[in-house]
Structure 1
Amino acid sequence: MMQTWETLCALVLFLVCVHADVVEHFEDVPDCLKYFYKDKVPEWGASTPGAARLCQRFVNRYHFATLYDTHHRIAVYSAYHFQPSNGGGRESRWFVEPQVGWLVGCLHFACAPADGVTVDIFSIQCMSYEDYTHSGFDRGHLNPNGHHAVPSRNATFTLTNVVPQNPKLNQNSWRIHESQLTDLFRSKCSKAYVLVGAIPSVDNWIVKNNVKRVNIPDYLWNAYCCVDNNGRPLQSGAAAARNTEDNWVEKLTVDELGEFLQQFSNQPVGELFYNNCRA
């Protein structure tokens, strides 16, 4: 009987979860590697302790790639292609990814036959939708849902693609910046390769029941490489914003963003894109 309920639990989990394929190297998975310009994976973040490389899969195909920091429980960055929207509203569900739970050793099932099947997906040590409730922070998308068509838009609603974001920043200047990028990508690019990430704070966390749950990043950043039909660079740019009520996004070049990121690493940042998107 117990085995039957465990099987049923696993089935329910399969039905409600988006999949994140944990890979050793993005280069090993061509359908995931394609989100990086000319297959160039940044050196930035590669030495992050406990980093997990996720190929974000939804409805049986990949939609973007994420380098995930399992210690701080936020992404180092996500890499994606811009897609013009084809309509469709915001996803009403937030997906969890059991593969990441297994990776950090905190996934468990709890089935209760008397009350029907219930699935307790993540323990106290793992990320949860509830971590953000009454925290004072938005679940801020890194890879924005507005830069995608359905079903890729739906795939962005995963906890490995959000960070605690100051509401004023998320709903104002960062939102406006993402909208400006939408206009740019639509008018100037045959394809746009985008990286967007977060810089974790030293010791600022969402705390629940005296447990540090999710790190509150100090900064958000993004960078893009806009190319023509032949994959030749047309334009590039970047931006960074302090995750506070300052509500200010600073526009940068890709090289300037590299210099900014270097402040937070004792390893060389290297190129964010192949040849840093130079023609």
Structure 2
Amino acid sequence: MSRLCSRIVLAFTAGYCCCCCLCSADVVDFSVCLQFFYNAWPPKGLTGTPICQRFYNQHRFATLYSRQRRSPWFSAYVYTVPLGKRPRATWKFEPQLAYPGAGGNMIPFPPGPLDQNVVESQAVDQDYINSTYSRGHLNPSLHHRSHKARASTFTLTNVVPQKPGSNDGPWELLEQTVNKTIAAYCLGEAYIVTGIIPYRSSEPWLKNHRVAVPEYMWSAYCCPNYNHSLPEELREVFPTYAAIGRNDPNSTEEIVPISKSTKKQFRGYDVRRMSLETLEMYLKDRFNTVIKVFYEQCNTLDG
């Protein structure tokens, strides 16, 4: 048994899980975490490795991961009104990407040299250190209530290389706006899917072609049960709404225009809000396949 697997066994015995080889698989399909998708229906059209993200023996959210890109295509979760401060960023990895027989709980990166199977199977801290990119959450800590749920978002299988001008600017504002809107007007569960749009060609990568950098990020929510006494300016944003954000200030403007009034440090990282149908149109164009984010466009199940 490798040193990493030995560490995994010890860590899980101490409270994460009972044994490295006895935990049920979480990196196979979404069948054990369908609760994070509206009507138990994961987005259609994208292919990758499904991860039911587990932390302290509880599934927290779902991610479709690209092993080749060493980053996610999307993460899906159920919104809950946040409480408390942002947890300390203790970054974690997915052991089952490195060892299929490993336990299903994400675990913190150990001190010292990393097991080579981990390095080859997914992004690691060293990929982001001294780069010009931040660790951009797809599933943000801000959209969760409990401390453990918030802490679970700090796994590198949930982040992509994101420019600070986006992560600390317009994209952060979008996350805050969605948080306030759903908290105020959504009466039932709100399902959110956040993903990326790759470059058409000449894609930038982090450190020796290890982690692919997306050109855009996108997000969409589905709240089928909401307060119908909405202010006029919010009537178009329920039951579903979407957005695309720039991750490259030099990208062309046909998807997201650049606002000349944006503060200089955030210019070129604009976010364009749009209908779900418009988002799916842009996804189809870039991925060259039909992509459906929510079951029946987030229509209510009872018609």
TM-score under structure 2 length normalisation: 0.75
Q: CA deviation at 1:6?
A: 7.5
- Say if 2:179 is the partner of 1:158: no
Q: CA deviation at 1:155?
A: 0.5
Q: Is the 8 A contact 2:4 2:115 kept in 1?
A: no
Report the counterpart of residue 9 of structure 1 in structure 2: 7
Q: CA deviation at 1:122?
A: 4.1
Report the counterpart of residue 35 of structure 2 in structure 1: 34
Alpha-carbon deviations, 1:145-198, whole Å to 9, x = none?
Answer: 110122110110000000000110110000001000000010111221000001
Report the counterpart of residue 243 of structure 1 in structure 2: 247
| Structure 1 residues 134 and 226: CA distance shift in structure 2, 3 A | same
- Say if 2:177 is the partner of 1:180: yes
| Structure 1 residues 171 and 5: CA distance shift in structure 2, 3 A | closer
- Say if 2:284 is the partner of 1:262: yes
Alpha-carbon deviations, 1:182-234, whole Å to 9, x = none?
Answer: 000101112210000012233433343xx2110000110000011328xxx95
Q: Which amino acid aligns with 1:273?
A: F
Q: CA deviation at 1:89?
A: 2.7
Question: Runs of 5+ in structure 2 lacking a partner?
Answer: 18-22, 101-110, 227-236, 250-267
**Residues in 1 aligned to 2:94 and 2:24: alpha-carbon distance in whole angstroms:** 6
| Structure 1 residues 21 and 195: CA distance shift in structure 2, 3 A | farther
Please give the secondary structure, in 2, of the residue aligned with 1:262.
helix
Question: Runs of 5+ in structure 1 lacking a partner?
Answer: 104-116
CA RMSD of aligned residues (A): 2.8
Report the counterpart of residue 296 of structure 2 in structure 1: 275
**Residues in 1 aligned to 2:89 and 2:131: alpha-carbon distance in whole angstroms:** 20
Number of residue pairs matched?
252
More strand by share: 1
Q: Among 141, 160, 163, which residue is 1:145 paired with?
A: 141
Percent identity reads 33
Alpha-carbon deviations, 1:27-61, whole Å to 9, x = none?
Answer: x22xx10111011111131xx3xx11000000111
| Structure 1 residues 122 and 157: CA distance shift in structure 2, 3 A | farther
Report the counterpart of residue 227 of structure 1 in structure 2: 224
Q: Is the 8 A contact 2:66 2:72 kept in 1?
A: yes
Report the counterpart of residue 66 of structure 2 in structure 1: 69
**Residues in 2 aligned to 1:20 and 1:255: alpha-carbon distance in whole angstroms:** 37
Please give the secondary structure, in 2, of the residue aligned with 1:212.
coil
Q: CA deviation at 1:88?
A: 3.5
Report the counterpart of residue 44 of structure 2 in structure 1: 43
Q: CA deviation at 1:73?
A: 1.0
Moved more, 139-148 or 85-94: 85-94
TM-score under structure 1 length normalisation: 0.81
**Residues in 2 aligned to 1:73 and 1:100: alpha-carbon distance in whole angstroms:** 10
Report the counterpart of residue 204 of structure 2 in structure 1: 205
Please give the secondary structure, in 2, of the residue aligned with 1:76.
strand
| Structure 1 residues 21 and 168: CA distance shift in structure 2, 3 A | farther
